[in-house]
Amino acid sequence: MKNIFELIIGVLGLSICILSAQIPAVSWTPFHYTPFHYFVPHAMLQTDNIAVGAPSATDSATRPVIEKLEMTHLHRELSEIRILIAQLATKTDLHVTNAAVRKILSTLQILTTNFADLDAIKTQLDEKASELDLNNTNTALRKVDSDLEKLTQNFEQSAISTVVDIGRMPESCADLKLIGYKMNGFFQIKGKEKIENVYCDFTTNAIELQKWIGYAEIKSASVYFYVQKNSNFKKTATPIPFELERLNVGNAMNLASGIFTAPRPGIYFFSFAGTAFYEPSQYLKYFGVSLYLNDELIGSGEVDSLKNVAYEWSPLSLQSTLNLNKGDKVWLELYYSDPTMFLFDSSPPNHFTHFTGFMLEENTVASL
């Protein structure tokens, strides 16, 4: 871009020379001034190959016309320069260059009516060229910044390219180091049953590469339910159904069938509470509820009565914590010694029968 301004300066310098040769100068004396030409362009004017001598009175009369023609010619040359500068302005990409060229155009606009300002404009062009050098410096700095950005991107790409695929989830700090981790810190790795938190020290000659912190409490989905009954129930050898659903997040509990199906492997907690009703009797009676896992009896809760002389309502309960696999089924069943006994729940809205369960911990590894 500086070359462009040097071209402009050169053209304007040539214009100054032309102007010096074309515009009459003034010689002052104490009484009057006498115009003269440096190269006296009218001394030997050729017309149709006929030499014309020194100016005569007729020449004096025609001289203003000739000078006007010369000024018009110079005006046209300067106008062409203005057009050239305008074209150069469209080819620059420096934000200050357009402003500088516009200022030159403005100055040349004034020049077309006042030719005596050419030397001042040349000085202004020199100053603009110096400013352009500063802008070139800024451009160079921006280029350096761009090169640094590319270098950073290349470095990051190189770091990514060094990552190794071990073909499985990392199970230790050694696996993480093999993958390509270099910075010390806390990481989660795949344990035997759960995701584990560890601290990895990748420092060269580290005393301990891996320090176990604990298990990560991660659940891929929440599972919990709370259901109740609205009526008495006395059937045996069949899952107890429920009519009222308070909560059933994960939809693992089927109220109509009374069966809970584990949607995720993990540790689950179950709790049952109800009321047993039995009539007066002289004999030993018992009433209980059992928890089953896939047709396997897990445990029971029972109440007994001997020689009761009145109607009795006895509370019974059962809790259990189970390690379930996905798809395992859990339910409750009744058993008793007298057919007059039953699970009491015929006084809405009291609701004496409750069954609840939820997942304590998920076996995350088995879910992967």
Contacts of 193 (CB under 8 A, 6+ apart): 363, 364, 365, 366
What band does 60 get if pLDDT is binned at 50, 70 and 90? low
CA 363 to chain centre: 33
State mean pLDDT over 150-174: 74
pLDDT in tens, 263-294: 999 999 999 999 999 888 888 999 999 999 99
**What was the pLDDT predicted at 354?**
97
| Residue appearing with tokens 């069938």 | 257
Return d(Cα 17, Cα 102) in angstroms, integer. Answer: 24
**What was the pLDDT predicted at 233?**
96
User: What's the mean pLDDT when you consider all of the chain?
Assistant: 76
Q: What is the pTM of this model?
A: 0.53
Kindly state the percentage of the chain with pLDDT values over 70: 56
State the architecture of 224-367 in CATH terms.
Answer: Sandwich (2.60)
pLDDT in tens, 16-50: 555 444 444 444 444 343 444 433 444 444 444 43
**What was the pLDDT predicted at 5?**
54
Return d(Cα 281, Cα 127) in angstroms, integer. Answer: 121
Return d(Cα 367, Cα 360) in angstroms, integer. Answer: 15
Contacts of 274 (CB under 8 A, 6+ apart): 289, 315, 316, 317, 343, 344, 345, 352, 353, 354
- The domain locations on the chain are 2-138, 173-215, 224-367
Task: Please check the confidence at residue 120 and state whether its pLDDT lies above 80.
Answer: no
State mean pLDDT over 97-120: 58
Amino acid at 338: D
Higher pLDDT, 102 or 14: 102
Q: Pick the closest to residue 9 from 140, 95, 132 (CA basis).
A: 132
Question: Phi then psi for 96, rounded to 5 degrees?
Answer: -90, -15
State mean pLDDT over 77-81: 61
| Residue appearing with tokens 């304590």 | 360
Tokens of 227: 């259901």
Return d(Cα 63, Cα 61) in angstroms, integer. Answer: 6
